Structure 1
């Protein structure tokens, strides 16, 4: 019975982290929107790459934690 609760917690954590990432990226994109020239484009591209990388890291970290818990049982 403990596994579904942990799974729910992992899902909740993933959702919270994704929301935090989105908020931070939106702020960076808003800042980039206030800039002019190539710097603006670079910030937007960097923000999108950062978003993708962080999501992959979150997924890998949570998956590894879930796998470790299964091995510990």
Structure 2
């Protein structure tokens, strides 16, 4: 049990203090990027899993990556 807690503490301490909005590294080999989908088909927007309707209204594919749509007045 102590080894697991020690490993968790080391992993948390080794993470960068500033996280890029486009990509979150959970472990060295596991990354979560804007636009990734979960098993239910929801998209990751950097903060929450969003359904497809929300995603289509707020994001667009541009230059090989997802970006927020410009808000029109």
| Larger helix fraction of residues | 1
The answer to whether TM tops 0.5 is no
The structure number with the bigger radius of gyration is 1
Greater RCO (CA < 8 Å, at least 6 residues apart) = 1
| Larger strand fraction of residues | 2
**TM class by shorter-chain length?**
under 0.3
TM-score when scaled to structure 1? Answer: 0.21
TM-score when scaled to structure 2? Answer: 0.21
